[in-house]
Amino acid sequence: MRVEVYVEGVVQGVGFRYFTQRIAKEIGIKGFVKNLADGRVYIVADGDEEQLDKFLSYIKKGSRSSIVRRVEVREIEESEKFENFNIRF
């Protein structure tokens, strides 16, 4: 299962992408995270339903230094194969 996630709030410049990568690797999620020009963070995550539920619960809470105000999640079609979870710049 693959989802795309848009995260709004204080999520840039506070280590949120590194937090996301660490959690993804712990849970076994594959995909990527990147900052968007509008201040949001964009995530593409692959995993089974249980893994994604756990991952998204962490994302909704955020890291200690972030403030997550809104999380939008959509299931999407697979377009590329991911071997791991990376930060994209």
- C-alpha distances in Å from residue 24, one per residue of 7, 31, 38, 67, 70: 15, 8, 23, 19, 19
Lateral strand order in the sheet of 67-75: 67-75, 2-10, 41-46, 30-35, 85-87
Give me the residues paired with residue 35 across strands.
41
Q: Determine the Cα–Cα distance for residues 80 and 32; give it in Å rounded to an integer.
A: 11
Active site residues: 17, 35
